[in-house]
Amino acid sequence: MQLWFSELQTPHMKISCRVKEVLHREKSPYQEIAVLDTYQFGRMLTLDDVIQTSERDEFVYHEMLVHLPLLTHRDPRRVLVIGGGDGGSVREVLKHPSVEQVVLAEIDERVVEVARCFLPTISCALHDPRVRLQIGDGIRHVQENPNTYDVILVDSTDPVGPAVGLFSADFYRSVHAALRPGGVFAAQTESPFFNQDLIKRVYQDVSAIFTAAGLYLAVVPTYPGGMWSFTIGAKDGALHGWSRERAAGLPTRYYSPELHEEAFTLPVFVKELLEKE
Minimum CB separation of residue 30 from ligand SAM in Å reads 6
Q: Which is nearer to ligand SAM, 72 or 156 (CB)?
A: 156
Q: Which is nearer to ligand SAM, 82 or 212 (CB)?
A: 82
- Dihedral sign for Cα atoms in the order 219, 222, 225, 231: negative
DSSP letters spanning the chain: --EEEEEEEETTEEEEEEEEEEEEEEE-SS-EEEEEEETTTEEEEEETTEEEEETTTHHHHHHHHHHHHHHHSSS--EEEEEE-TTSHHHHHHTTSTT--EEEEEES-HHHHHHHHHH-HHHHTTTTSTTEEEEES-HHHHHHH-TT-EEEEEEE---SSGGGGGGGSHHHHHHHHHHEEEEEEEEEE---TTT-HHHHHHHHHHHHHHSSEEEEEEEE-TTSTTSEEEEEEEESSS-SS---HHHHHT---SS--HHHHHTTT---HHHHHHHH--
Tell me: does residue 52 bind ligand SAM (CB under 6 A): yes
The Cα–Cα gap between 233 and 165 comes to: 18
> Applying CB under 6 A, which of residues 7, 46, 79, 83 lies at the interface with ligand SAM?
83
Query: How many residues sit close enough to ligand SAM to count as binding (CB under 6 A)?
Result: 25
> Applying CB under 6 A, which of residues 53, 174, 189, 229 lies at the interface with ligand SAM?
53
Minimum CB separation of residue 164 from ligand SAM in Å reads 8
Expressed in angstroms, the distance from the first to the final Cα of the chain is: 53
Tell me: does residue 138 bind ligand SAM (CB under 6 A): yes
The Cα–Cα gap between 142 and 148 comes to: 9
Catalytic residue chosen out of the listed positions 150, 155, 158, 205: 155
Tell me: does residue 82 bind ligand SAM (CB under 6 A): yes
Tell me: does residue 86 bind ligand SAM (CB under 6 A): yes
Q: Which is nearer to ligand SAM, 64 or 212 (CB)?
A: 64
Interface positions, 5-44, toward ligand SAM (CB under 6 A) = 30
Tell me: does residue 111 bind ligand SAM (CB under 6 A): yes
Pairing of strands 42-47, 78-83: unpaired
> Applying CB under 6 A, which of residues 19, 44, 103, 105 lies at the interface with ligand SAM?
105
Q: Which is nearer to ligand SAM, 81 or 184 (CB)?
A: 81
Q: Which is nearer to ligand SAM, 85 or 214 (CB)?
A: 85
Q: Which residues face 3 on adjacent strands?
A: 19
Give catalytic status of residue 155 as yes or no. yes
Instruction: Kindly write out the interface string for residues 59-78 of this chain, putting x where it contacts ligand SAM by CB under 6 A and - elsewhere.
Output: --x-----------------
Q: Which is nearer to ligand SAM, 44 or 94 (CB)?
A: 44
> Applying CB under 6 A, which of residues 93, 122, 125, 139 lies at the interface with ligand SAM?
139
> Active-site residues: which are they?
155
Which residues are near ligand SAM by CB under 6 A? 30, 47, 52-53, 61, 82-86, 105-108, 111, 137-139, 155-157, 162-163, 166, 188
